[in-house]
Amino acid sequence: MSEYRGYTGMSLTFLKESNVKVGDSVKVTEDLTYTGILMPRYEHTDDKHIVLKLKSGYNIGIEVNKIKKIELLSSEKIETKSSSKIKIDSSLPKVLLLSTGGTIASKIDYRTGAVTPALSATELNSAVPELAEIANIDAEVIFSEYSENLEPEHWKKIAEKLDSYAKSDYKGIVIGHGTDTMQYTAAFLSFALAGYPIPIVLVGSQRSSDRPSSDAALNLISAFRFVVESNTRGVFVVMHHNESDDLVVGHIGTRVRKNHTSKRSAFQTIGNNPAFLIFDKKIEKNLEKEFFKQKEYVPKLNFDSHVALVKYHPGYNPKIIDFLVESGYKAIIFEGTGLGHVGKTMYEGIKKANESGLFMGMTSQCIDGRVGMNVYESGRDLLELGIVPLSDMISETALVKAMWALGNSGSPVEMKNLMLKNIASEFSD
């Protein structure tokens, strides 16, 4: 029942006896007094607590046995304010917003606990009115998933949707996306849609819009301003740069990584500075180089997910390599130590994988720098065993590129050539 969603046992009995339910505004007195909205609970939580959403935006758990009194303040239905019809400003460009899910693209119904997309143009205009001053917005939901649930099949669906708009009159396209796997999606789109004629921006938020420290609105505003004003093309990730509210940056889609679990500044460009700075209503190009070599748009949307990412460590069982070969994998990306090394216990398995025709690429576990497999004897041995050094390509980017290259090549030689070609700045200068 949505009225008591997630509550069982002791807490459910307490709520029923107190005549309060999920979505009600209540005042709870224990040692302190709290006022807030009674929230639903997850089904696997205990039955000893209730949860309130405070006015600050934060949730608090209160032990039922410590509650001295609970008062119902309001149980009126929570209505979403309807905003007036959006006026189209013919002087503004058109921007398409696509939603795949994630924190940035959802709203919470405190009565049911459901998280639903909040991406109609009307809702956006009401929630972030600054957007209406930047562009005329069309919005569409592709799917609504936590990003940890996204698979390569989802990447392809996004790419197909984007390809269908390649000849549209949009100034740019913004994709709302969960942060956990945003870098993987950005990498795939960078390869599959190389040469895309307008900018594509993936944007997310580390903290939901009902929290006072949320980065959702600023990231979204910055993403729209970026696609309208940057005068560039290609795939970027736009996110907070630091813990202040004055700087958002645009990262190249193949050079970005989520490096913190919860900070608003979780995303960083690896091996260089971010490509663009977005602050004080200004957008500055932060790198002088040409980001994307491919000028002509020739979409290549296929993939083959029979690729493994192997993070080598002391004690790694080399039989796992044999298992990958026997299981039908066609490529392995190694995340080796230092300049690109793995222990000699791995050599026999690597030799068999090479003889079986697998592509094997080497990246480094180090955050910065590039592999150099000619420096030490162990690196040279691995070169002889067929491993291909991938310079400073990020290991996650290399994994995605290998899936893409495998799906869009007809031979091992063609795949290797694609892996070594700098398509979307996956190799830094």
The active-site residue out of 100, 179, 232, 397 is 179
pLDDT at residue 328 is higher than 60: yes
Instruction: Label the pairing between strands 25-29 and 69-74.
Output: antiparallel
pLDDT at residue 101 is higher than 70: yes
Is residue 122 helix, strand or coil?
helix
Instruction: Look up 107 and say whether it is catalytic.
Output: no
Nearest residue to 180 (alpha-carbon basis) of 159, 205, 156: 205
Of 29-38, 86-95, 172-181, 343-352, give the lowest mean pLDDT range.
Answer: 86-95
Q: Which domains occur in the chain, in start order?
A: 2-74 (2.30.30.520), 94-285 (3.40.50.1170), 307-420 (3.40.50.40)
pLDDT at residue 109 is higher than 60: no
DSSP letters of 333-380? EEEEBTTTB--GGGHHHHHHHHHTT-EEEEEESSSSS---TTSSHHHH
pLDDT at residue 28 is higher than 90: yes
pLDDT at residue 53 is higher than 90: no
Of 62-71, 92-101, 278-287, 322-331, give the lowest mean pLDDT range.
Answer: 278-287
Nearest residue to 274 (alpha-carbon basis) of 264, 284, 263, 262: 284
pLDDT tens, 132-187? 899 999 988 888 888 899 999 999 999 999 999 999 999 999 999 989 999 999 99
The span from the CA of 353 to the CA of 230, in Å, is: 45
Longest CA pairwise span in the chain (Å): 75
Contact 395, 333 (CB under 8 A): yes
Angle between helices 412-420 and 395-407 (to 10 degrees): 140
pLDDT at residue 62 is higher than 90: yes
The active-site residue out of 21, 156, 171, 258 is 258
Confidence class for position 81, pLDDT limits 50, 70, 90: very low
Question: Would you say the C-alpha torsion 216, 221, 224, 225 has a positive or negative sign?
Answer: negative
Instruction: Look up 179 and say whether it is catalytic.
Output: yes
CA distances 59 to 55, 56, 130, 301, Å, are: 9, 9, 28, 42
Written as one letter, the residue type at 364 is S
Give the helix ranges, DSSP H, for 34-181.
121-127, 152-164
Confidence class for position 128, pLDDT limits 50, 70, 90: confident
Written as one letter, the residue type at 57 is G
**Structure tokens, 186:** 């950005």
Is residue 222 helix, strand or coil?
helix
Instruction: Look up 103 and say whether it is catalytic.
Output: yes
The Cβ-side half-sphere exposure at 191, using a 13 Å CA radius, reads: 31
Confidence class for position 79, pLDDT limits 50, 70, 90: very low
More confident residue, 288 or 359: 359
Confidence class for position 407, pLDDT limits 50, 70, 90: very high
Confidence class for position 43, pLDDT limits 50, 70, 90: low
The predicted model gives 270-285 an average pLDDT of 90
Of 62-76, 99-113, 121-135, 307-321, give the lowest mean pLDDT range.
Answer: 99-113
pLDDT tens, 226-276? 999 999 999 999 998 887 778 999 999 999 999 999 888 889 999 999 999
Nearest residue to 190 (alpha-carbon basis) of 393, 418, 423, 391: 423
The active-site residue out of 100, 103, 363, 397 is 103
Instruction: Look up 180 and say whether it is catalytic.
Output: yes
The active-site residue out of 47, 163, 180, 381 is 180
Confidence class for position 119, pLDDT limits 50, 70, 90: low
Mean pLDDT of the residues in the chain: 88
